Amino acid sequence: MTRIVLHNANLFDSESATLKPGATIVIENGIVDAVSFEPIEVGDAQVYDLDGRVVLPGLIDAHVHVSSSVADFFKLSLMPQSLITAKSKDILEQMLARGFTTVRDAGGADAGLVAAIEEGHFTGPRLFIAGRAITQTGGHGDTRPAFFSGQTCACCGAVGMLGHVADGVAEVRRAVREEIRNGATHIKVMAGGGISTPNDPIDGTQYSEEEMKAIVDEATAARTYVMAHAYSPDAIQRAVRCGVRSIEHGNLIDAATARLMAAHGTYLVPTLATYAAIAREGKRIGWSEAMLAKTGRVQNMGVSAMKMAYESGVKIGLGSDLLGEMQVLQHEELTLRETVMKPAEILRSATWVNAEMMNQSGRLGVIAQGAHADLIVVKGNPLDGLAILAEPQNLLAIMKSGAFHTNRLTRSTPNVRA
C-alpha cells in the first residue's frame, strides 16, 4: 500500500483534548506509522501539505442502529431481509461520509454486514455489533405490538429484528452465548423501559438482578462486555451493580446514581440527538401519543442528566441512537452537547473515551503510532464550535484504514522533505 504523509497538520490529541500544531503523520499499510513534530525523511510517499488544517481521529458513534431504516420496529420486522440489508448499505455509506469511521451497533446489525464491509461489498465505518439485544418478554426489545399473538424466536429474523427475547437465568445465558456465536463483539441488554415501544413504562426496570448478572457473567466469559439500555435511577443502579460497562441514554439519572456510576467507572452514553429528532419528526412518522409523551419527558431531562453525570466525574461516551430517516441528523449529537461540555471535550468523548469504552484504546480514537489510520481533515477549527463538521464541504478528507473515502486535499511536490 502507498505510503501517505500528511505534513503541517494541527493534530487533535484526543487524550488531552488539545490541538498540537506542526505535526507530520505518516501512514502505511492502513496504520499510523509515525507522528512527528520534527522534520523527517518521507521517501517516495504521497505527500499532502495541510497548511495547518485540523486533523481529528475518525469519529466514533457508540450507539447506532444501522439496520433500522424505519423507526417503527414492528414494521421493520416485517420487511424482507434483503431490503433491510440494501437500506443498511446506504446508512453505512452516509455515516462514513459524515466522518464517522467507527460505529458501535446497539441492536440489529449482524456479522454479515461486518463481513460485507470488510470484504469491500459495502462502503462503511468499522462496525462493532451486538447482534440482537437481549430483552425480557414485553421488554424494550420485544417489538411485537400489544395483542399481537405471534411469537418471536431465536432462530428466525436476524437482521433488523432488534430483540432476542429470553427469560430466566438459563435462557439469558443461552441468548448471550447465541449472540457471541453469531459474531457479536459486545452484548446489549434492555434493562428498563424505552420510548419506541408502547407498553413498558419508561421508569420501569427489566430483568431481575440474577438474570442481569448472568448476562454480564457470560459476556465476561467471552472476554467482552455489556451495554445496557436504561433510563431510571433504579434501572441504572441495578445494571451498574451487576457489572454493566456502559449505560445507554440515562436521562433520568439523579445525584446518587451519578456518584455510583463514577465509583464503578461505568460509562454513560447520552443519546440527545434521537429525542430532538423524534420530538420534531415523531408525529409525522406515525409515533403514538403515548410514545411521544415518553419522549417529551426524557428529552427535557437528557441534558441536565448528562451535566450531573459529567460534573460527578462519570466518563461520557458519545452515541446518537437515531432511527430510520432521522439518521441524517447524526452530527446533532455533537452540537447538542455544547451547552454542557466544551467542543474539545465532546470530540474527546467521540474518540478517546468511546475507544476506551469499546476496549479499543491505542487502536481507535487516536492518531498515534500503531493506531488504525482513521482520520478526518477539517476546514476551520472545530474547537470553536462543532457545527462546522455538519457541512460536508468542511470535511476535506476522510480516511479509514489508510484509504481515502473523501479527498479534497492538494498533493505537494513528491519527494519533499516534510
Q: Applying CB under 5 A, which residues contact Zn ion? A: 106, 229, 321
Least CB distance from residue 235 to Zn ion, whole Å? 11
Phi, psi angle pair for 295, to nearest 5° = -60, -50
- Contact, 187 vs 130, CB < 8 A? yes
Q: Which is nearer to Zn ion, 108 or 157 (CB)?
A: 108
CB of 189 to Zn ion, least distance (A): 10
Question: What CA–CA distances, in Å, run from 261 to 187, 189, 244, 307, 316?
Answer: 19, 17, 10, 14, 11
Residue with cell 506509522: 33
* Half-sphere exposure in the Cβ direction for 374 (13 Å, CA): 26
Residue partners of 151: CB distance under 8 A and separation at least 6: none
User: Residues of 157-178 as b/e, b for ≥16 C-beta within 10 angstroms?
Assistant: bbbbbbbbbbbebebbbebbeb
Residue 344 CB, nearest distance to Zn ion (Å)?
27
Supply 401's cell numbers.
484504514
17/322 with CB nearer Zn ion: 322
Judged by CB, which is closer to Zn ion: 33, or 321? 321
Task: Give the nearest distance from C-beta 106 to Zn ion in angstroms.
Answer: 4
Choose between 132 and 372: whose C-beta lies nearer to Zn ion.
Answer: 132
CB of 313 to Zn ion, least distance (A): 24
Termini Cα distance of the chain: 20
CA angle, 36 then 29 then 413, to 5°: 60
Cα 161 from Cα 159, distance rounded (Å): 6
Q: Where are the alpha helices (DSSP H) in 42-80?
A: 73-77
Nearer to Zn ion among residue 106 and residue 396 (C-beta): 106
Looking at the Cβ atoms of 57 and 193, the one nearer to Zn ion is 193
Using a 10 angstrom Cβ sphere, with 0-12 exposed, 13-18 middle and 19 or more buried, the burial of residue 38 is exposed
- Please identify, using beta-carbon distances, which residue of 160 and 402 lies nearer to Zn ion: 160
DSSP 3-state assignment of 232?
coil
Comparison of 137 and 415: residue with beta carbon closer to Zn ion: 137
d(CA 244, CA 288): 31
Residue 21 exposed, middle or buried by CB count within 10 Å (0-12, 13-18, 19+): exposed
Q: What is the nearest approach in angstroms of Zn ion to the Cβ of residue 65?
A: 6
Kindly state the smallest distance separating residue 321's Cβ from Zn ion, in Å: 4
User: Is 229 or 238 the residue whose CB approaches Zn ion more closely?
Assistant: 229
Cell of 332: 446533532
**Residue with nearest beta carbon to Zn ion:** 229
Taking the C-alpha atoms of residue 93 and residue 108, their distance in angstroms, rounded to an integer, is 17
Q: Shortest approach of Zn ion to residue 148 CB, angstroms?
A: 21
Q: How far is the CB of 35 from Zn ion (least distance, A)?
A: 35
**Beta carbon of residue 380, minimum distance to Zn ion (angstroms, whole number):** 31
DSSP assignment letter at 364: B
Q: Which residue lies nearer to Zn ion by CB, 321 or 333?
A: 321
